[in-house]
Amino acid sequence: MIDASLEIQTPFVDEIRRDSIQRIERAAMVGTDKAAKGALGQIRLEMRGRQLGGLGNALGMFSDLKKGHVFRRGAEAFSASAGIYLRSRSERTIGAIISYTEGATITARNGRWLWIATDDVQRLVGSGSERRRLTPALWKSRGLDSKIGPLVPIRGINGFPLLVVKNVGVSLAGKKRSVKGLKKNGQPRKGQFARELVVAFYAIPRTSREKRVDLIQIASRWAGVAADYINEELRKGR
């Protein structure tokens, strides 16, 4: 009689088991990392496509692959994760992200009206991280009341208030955001003509923002793709 039994030493079995677990952990980390990167890329792409500019750059992604380890749940279980987070601390940016991914009705924080700059005046002031959308308060604090002229309140035909600037120059070619103060002799600058009155801001009581990017839908899609990435990574080791 021939004995064909095979004796396997426990240390060898333990080594195979450790290697297998490490391969699975690695595959899980790589798969979730790839899925999060894909989700972030799609979010940014959709935000640009829906005229939200670089708003998606305020989002970042994290993963256990970047940390270099999984989260262990006892001796026999672990979890590997990755996700998207909001890395900006700017209240304006946070508000914009929420508005365009959840929808929102925006009202004035102080006072009754939201003031919107018209196409005749500049839209932004400042530079770099200090760049801000022009408001009546910034008009004064940035010295535009001296460079161009003080804001004068009047009432529009719909009963809502307007803020106008008087005796200024605007582009002869009809270019937007061209308002400038007149020269000291009261004449317009080169390429401009004088206007007695230009509306700088109009007021509205509130405005709505529709959801433009569905984060839940994108996250669900890429969570499903993560399993494919994990299986793909496991097949590489065969």
- Residues 117, 98 share a domain: no
The pLDDT tens digits of the residues spanning 169-197 come to 999 998 999 999 999 999 999 999 999 99
Q: Are residues 192 and 205 in the same domain?
A: yes
Domain coverage including residue 116: 107-209
Q: Is the dihedral of CA 216, 222, 224, 230 positive or negative?
A: negative
Domain match, 204 and 221 both: no
Are residues 42 and 14 both part of a single domain?
Answer: yes
Are both 215 and 202 inside the same structural domain? Answer: no
Confidence of residue 7 (pLDDT cuts 50, 70, 90): low
Is residue 185 domain-resident?
yes
Regarding pTM above 0.85, the answer is no
Residue 96 neighbours by CB under 8 Å, 6+ apart: 52, 55
Strand-pairing partners, residue 231, are none
Q: Tell whether 17 is covered by a domain.
A: yes
Beta strand 104-107 with 152-155: parallel, antiparallel or unpaired?
unpaired
Residue 4 lies in a domain: no
Tens-digit pLDDT profile for residues 87-136: 988 888 888 999 999 998 888 777 788 999 999 999 888 887 678 889 99
CB 139 within 8 A of CB 122: no
Domain co-membership, 84 together with 115: no
Report which DSSP code applies to 31: H
pLDDT band at 1 (very low <50, low <70, confident <90, very high): very low
Task: Indicate the pairing of strand 114-117 with strand 71-72.
Answer: unpaired
| Residue 145 located in a structural domain | yes
* Whether residue 47 sits in one domain with residue 113: no
Number of domains present in the structure of the chain: 2
